[in-house]
């Protein structure tokens, strides 16, 4: 046995730098899932994604804490990835979140989605695209650089819709490819959204939510109204005109948006 361990011996020689490189396997910092799937759907911060960047903040955006943070993505390698295929066998879903473009975006820049199933992002700098069996485009790009904006993608099953800042921007009939199943995992901001890898967003992303239901236009609008002060207004008032027979039940439905919800 040696009289002195190797590392101790080296230190006696007064190195100005000494890296033992024995830290073990790299484990990305966890992005906890607080939805119903729990830890099985946790994400991880990869390739320089920073989890303490500027985010939508209160009190200007009233629904957020004054110390809220977002993920900063560098447009070249960083993304938040999961180890699950969240959208498999989910013909009905909603994906929503907030983005702030840090600069003009490269072609095929991913926001969030699952390659070969539901691909969502900037197909070019001036066009937001959702791709399932074909493209659904919002152009020109509605979001300026340096501004926090809300965007949502909703599938009712037969119909796919994009909402920007709470308003319907585009809609079409669609069918999920591959029988509604993809071998890829759900990613945020890159790591493969339109493609198997790459697709890196330049800017900040925050508050990504995945639902196994098609949120109503009122619910989408109220996500925005919970952050951006909005005067109360009636969004759904049905039926506008109907006839019923004496003794039958008349059902009146109202949907309201505003701050507070």
The gap between the terminal CA atoms of the chain, to the nearest Å, is 72
The alpha-helical segments, DSSP class H, found in the chain are: 6-12, 217-225
Q: What's the pLDDT band for 255 if we cut at 50, 70, 90?
A: confident
Nearest CA to 185 among 78, 96, 112, 98?
112
Q: Residues 38-52: what's their mean pLDDT? A: 93
Q: What's the pLDDT band for 153 if we cut at 50, 70, 90?
A: very high
Q: Residues 141-159: what's their mean pLDDT? A: 97
CB contact at 8 A, 184 and 198: no
What pLDDT is recorded for position 61?
87
Structure-model confidence comparison of residues 182 and 252, the more confident one:
182
Query: What is d(CA 193, CA 107) in angstroms, rounded to the nearest whole number?
Result: 12
Q: Residues 90-106: what's their mean pLDDT? A: 97
pLDDT at residue 6 is higher than 90: no
In total, the chain counts a number of residues equal to 261
CB contact at 8 A, 43 and 82: yes
Q: What's the pLDDT band for 166 if we cut at 50, 70, 90?
A: very high
Q: Residues 158-178: what's their mean pLDDT? A: 97
Which DSSP letter does residue 220 get?
A: H
What pLDDT is recorded for position 24?
87
Nearest CA to 18 among 26, 6, 35, 30?
6
Nearest CA to 137 among 170, 101, 159, 163?
170
Backbone angles phi, psi at 58, to 5 degrees: -85, 160
Query: What is d(CA 254, CA 238) in angstroms, rounded to the nearest whole number?
Result: 7
Q: Residues 99-108: what's their mean pLDDT? A: 97
What pLDDT is recorded for position 1?
73
CB contact at 8 A, 113 and 237: no
Rg of the Cα atoms in the chain: 23
Q: Residues 163-174: what's their mean pLDDT? A: 97
- Among 75-89, 174-188, 237-251, the least confident range: 237-251
Query: What is d(CA 83, CA 27) in angstroms, rounded to the nearest whole number?
Result: 13
Structure tokens given for 247 = 């003794």
Question: What pTM did the predictor assign?
Answer: 0.89
What pLDDT is recorded for position 8?
93
What pLDDT is recorded for position 258?
92
């Amino acid at each position: 046995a040696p009289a002195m361990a190797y590392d101790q011996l080296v230190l006696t020689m007064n190195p100005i730098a000494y890296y033992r490189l024995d830290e073990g396997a790299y484990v990305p910092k966890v992005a906890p899932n607080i939805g119903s799937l729990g830890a099985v759907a946790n994400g991880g911060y990869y390739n320089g994604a920073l989890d303490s960047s500027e985010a939508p903040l209160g009190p200007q955006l009233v629904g957020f804490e004054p110390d809220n943070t977002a993920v900063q993505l560098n447009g070249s390698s960083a993304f938040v990835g999961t180890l699950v295929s969240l959208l498999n066998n989910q013909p009905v879903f909603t994906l929503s979140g907030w983005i702030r473009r840090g600069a003009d975006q490269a072609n095929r820049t991913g926001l969030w989605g699952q390659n070969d199933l539901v691909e969502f992002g900037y197909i070019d700098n001036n066009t937001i695209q959702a791709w399932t069996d074909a493209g659904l485009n919002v152009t020109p790009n509605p979001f300026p650089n340096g501004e926090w904006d809300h965007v949502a993608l909703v599938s009712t099953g037969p119909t796919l819709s994009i909402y920007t800042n709470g308003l319907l921007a585009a809609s079409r009939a669609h069918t999920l490819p591959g029988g509604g199943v993809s071998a890829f995992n759900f990613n945020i901001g890159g790591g493969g959204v339109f493609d198997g890898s790459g697709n890196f967003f330049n800017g900040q992303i925050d508050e990504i939510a995945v639902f196994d239901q098609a949120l109503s236009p009122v619910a989408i609008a109220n996500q925005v109204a919970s952050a951006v002060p909005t005067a109360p207004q009636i969004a759904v008032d049905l039926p506008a005109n109907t006839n019923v027979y004496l003794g039958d039940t008349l059902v009146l439905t109202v949907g309201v948006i505003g701050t507070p919800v």
